[in-house]
Chain A
Amino acid sequence: MKQKALYILVLAALILSACGGLAGGGGQPSVVRIGWASGPDSLNIGVAWLASAYTISELTYSSMYEFKLDGTLGLDLGTKETASADGLVYTYKIRDGVKFHDGQPLTAKDVAFTYNLVMAHEDFPTLHSYVEHFVSVEAPDASTVVITLDQPIPNIASKLVFLYILPEHIWKDHSEDDAAAAYENLEMIGSGPFKMLEYKPNEFIRLGVNKDYYGAVPKVDEVIFQVFSSSDVLIQALKTGQVDMITSVPNTSVETLKSAENVKVVTGAPLSPDLEDIIFNMVDPANCPTADGGLCTGHPALRDKQVRLAMAYATDKNKIIEIVKLGLATPGIALIPSGMGEWFNIEVKDFEYDPAKGNQLLDEAGYKDANGDGIRDMPDGSRPLTFRMNWPSSDNEAPRIAELLSEMWRELGITLEMQAVESDALTSKCCPALDYDLMIWGWVADPDPNSLLIVPTTDQIPTGYNETGYSNPRYDELFAAQGAELDKDKRIKMAWEMQQLVHDDVAYIIPYYPYAVQAYRTDRFTGWLDTETKLALEDPSSLTIIEPVK
């Protein structure tokens, strides 16, 4: 009897909850459900590492600038920017009447507080780098912010865009010493178009519309980001309509999704463009960072530009893209991805695929097969051209790239010893130890090209960011100059020359710049921005304008 009662109770609850579910789906509140592979690591943006933490911050906070889908930065919270003639003082006017989610006003004091907080906290690892040359930030009145720098810096907008404005009245109790980094910030009070409703780490995030938002108020009531730990499941969730959009589609699922009903697959440049790179250990023994743990065990042949050039000629990028990315990428040139717009040098002419030319280059440089084993040897016969090839084991595409490269380069008489290495272990092997021959890895770009341009500079060999050990005085000179150049056109010219230099010296072979691939249901919401230069359906640009299908 007791059991029966329990059974009926459960059944009743089930029916109740089903009704509740129906009311939610077909009735008043419109809820966008987004599936993604992992949620943010922390809601405290100061200590967060993952891109998903920034995605949520874009929706819940506002900042001085916004990062637009055409790749440019425009004023958002700020209404007017004035720079002093020497480029050392920037004065901003900000919007009036902006409110935080808890109803408190957002004034210039909050802006100054936020910037000062980041300046004081070296333990905000990524954000702190954006305030590198900031001397002071003040708020003389409620709508004016004055930033003083110790040297002129180009593109200040790219520094401020990720410095989301935090409410002083909440964070002032969590600003001293370790307290700021330790603060969990679960309420996530900001002033963006959405506010935090519910956060279940590793499960989901529920955001609700901010009716007091100063910009276009979103037309949907709620946005839910739900974590699905495998990509097959993500695809199935979209197909069966359990989510309305997924933030990334694995290449192998594109075809199946394209044939699914009411689903649209879209591609474009990623919001933060990225690249896959083949890295040569070409460090000059004179530049070996021994004091910082440098071992510099690279194969001597890779220090010879002729060898690297031959390998570049024998690399069929189109084939790699066709097989590894199923066509969903563009061939790469240098470290600045094409998705970075004007910063990308469109004039660099790539080495055309021509293995015969590669062989000819190696013959001319004296790399003959001395012992007849089919593998070329050093000109002095000391060792064969057998290179170690490593990649981080978390990279799903690298093994297939390596396999293809091994085939392509065998035509040159070069063999590879291939091995995946766990990424932390690979870091300690590569940078700055330079204890490898070849690697496959990748980079992700910031809105400003500086973070990628800095990679091949001589100064970065000991820090480990210059993974190849490339060193070119002209490049270093240009890097220093562009970092202080306020004239954008001149700076672009420098960035272009730097790309040409690295390409001509074959420090890297960049097989491709991948597309962002996303998908959404066409029977739930309309208005997704899928035809812009960049594709980011999870960005406020889309989520503030989509509306339910009628």
Chain B
Amino acid sequence: MNRWTYIRNKAIWSLFTIIFVVVLNFFLFRVLPGDPARQGIRDPRLTPEAIEAIRIRFGLDKPVINCIQTINPFRAGSCEINPLDTQFFIYVKNLLRGELGISFYYNRPVSEILGERLWNTILLIGGGQILSIIVGVVFGILSAWKARTPLDYGVLVTGLVAWSLPTFWLGIILLFWGSTHGFPIGGKATPGMSSYPFFAQLTDMLWHLLLPTLTYTIVFMGEYMLIMRSSLLDVLSEDYILTAKAKGLSTFQILKDHALKNGMLPLVTIIAINLGFTVGGVIQIESVFSWPGLGGALFEAVSRRDFPMLQGGFLLIAISVILANFLADLMYSYLDPRVQTE
């Protein structure tokens, strides 16, 4: 099996998974009790007529799918209706046209909200992820290389502490420290900066981004350090490394040409998984730093029964996870020749 067949097979599987998620997303949230037209609000001003008007506006008056009127509470409906008059097929039809619908709660197109939020999340996790990978890999290698030295113990302890730090706690400590040292106390930008030149706006945003990114880096670097260290130590104890040593190669050459490629494999998997999931938002960091990311938006959408937001958001997460895994598979096929020949 050559590399292209491998990639094609992976791509087909990814596509199937996405289709499955599209279907699941629709039914999953409709199983929850509660009426999205009321949004969890009990208000005597809300007449039954008003609720009915909202339901019609959101298309919630239509049957969920042929034979089923509503899922929770379950009510059967007519089976002999045009499928295109059901919520499910309207959802699929719109999705095929690239429309994610209008958020029940924000009354704005879901794609617009998700776009804004996704960009904010990428800003936050992008820098943090790169930094934590660099720090994690470098110190992981150093630690494995200098195993059982004070440096190694230092990295080990730092890694363990960083990995086990509660994210929320670390964030709030950094924020409290920062707020008395001239750092902004949250948000993405200083209100009123929009009339300033682009560069001032950019610095303002980077300034706001600093502490959340630092939190993210610390939380994730520990994991990377430890995994890098242990997997490299594993590789370094292999016979072929001994052979390389016997051939008289320098430690640097051994690491660079023989050990690192193999030692990176587990880390690639972990990074891919983390990347995929953190796109869904690092809600703890977001909520400490009032960062308007995806996590908060989705959390809100669940409690509001905002179906279009939930469907769009979870589709986005699913695609990210699948995409990240697909990329990891590609990396594997490059890093590990066995994957191509199996």
Contact = CB atoms under 8 A, between A and B. Distances in A.
A446 B46 CA distance: 13
B32 A226 contact: no
Given A14-B203, A204-B191, A427-B42, 6 more contacts: A21-B190, A200-B191, A224-B191, A424-B38, A451-B44, A463-B48
A240 interface: yes
B39 A20 contact: no
Interface in A144-200: 178, 181-182, 184, 198, 200
Interface string B51-91: 11110110000000000000001000000000000000000
A20 B202 CA distance: 14
A82 B173 CA distance: 61
Interface SS majority for chain A = mixed
Nearest to B189: A203
A480 interface: no
Contact of B57 (A42, A123, A465): A123
A181 B56 CA distance: 12
A431 interface: yes
B229 interface: no
A255 to B, nearest CB: 17
A222 interface: yes
Interface string B278-290: 0000000011111
Contact of B179 (A126, A240, A394): A240
A293 interface: yes
B107 interface: yes
Interface in A111-161: 121-126, 128-130
11 contacts: A17-B193, A122-B52, A125-B46, A129-B47, A198-B191, A198-B194, A203-B189, A233-B185, A236-B185, A242-B179, A428-B73
Given A206-B191, A233-B288, A463-B48, A181 B179 contact: no
B292 A203 contact: yes
Contacts of A49: 39, 41, 105
Contact of A229 (B41, B193, B286, B305): B286
A73 interface: no
A89 B60 CA distance: 38
B176 interface: yes
B199 A44 contact: no
Interface in A399-450: 422-425, 427-428, 431, 441, 446
B337 interface: no
B202 A237 contact: no
Interface in B22-59: 32-35, 38-54, 56-57
B184 interface: yes
A204 B179 CA distance: 19
B108 A20 contact: no
B35 to A, nearest CB: 7
**The 4 A-B residue pairs with the shortest CB-CB distance in the complex, in nearest-first order:** A424-B34, A122-B53, A123-B53, A129-B45
A514 to B, nearest CB: 18
A31 B204 CA distance: 18
Contacts of A227: 187, 290
B42 A228 contact: no
Contacts of B42: 427, 431, 441, 464-465, 467
B240 interface: no
A454 interface: yes
A123 B185 contact: no
B303 interface: yes
B43 A428 contact: no
A222 B190 CA distance: 14
Contacts of A30: none
Interface size class of A (residues with CB under 8 A): 35 or more
Contacts of A394: 40, 303
Contacts, number: 175
A342 interface: no
Contact of B175 (A31, A222, A233, A455): A233
Interface in A1-52: 9-10, 13-14, 16-17, 20-21, 24, 31, 33, 41-42, 44, 47, 49
Contact of B203 (A13, A125, A226): A13
Contacts of A204: 187, 191
B200 A17 contact: yes
A181 B57 contact: yes
B107 A47 contact: yes
B196 to A, nearest CB: 6
B334 interface: no
B43 A126 contact: yes
Contacts of A465: 42, 44
Interface string B122-136: 000000000000000
A102 interface: no
B296 interface: yes
B180 interface: yes
Contact of A206 (B56, B180, B192): B192
B306 to A, nearest CB: 10
A224 B192 contact: yes
B296 A202 contact: yes
B192 A24 contact: yes
A259 interface: no
A231 to B, nearest CB: 11
Given A17-B196, A41-B105, A224-B192, A427 B185 contact: no
B172 interface: yes
Nearest to A393: B303
Contacts of B194: 198
Contacts of B184: 242
A123 B55 CA distance: 9
Q: Which of B186, B196, B305 has the most CB of A within 10 A?
A: B186
A10 B199 CA distance: 8
Contacts of A21: 190
Interface in A285-334: 293
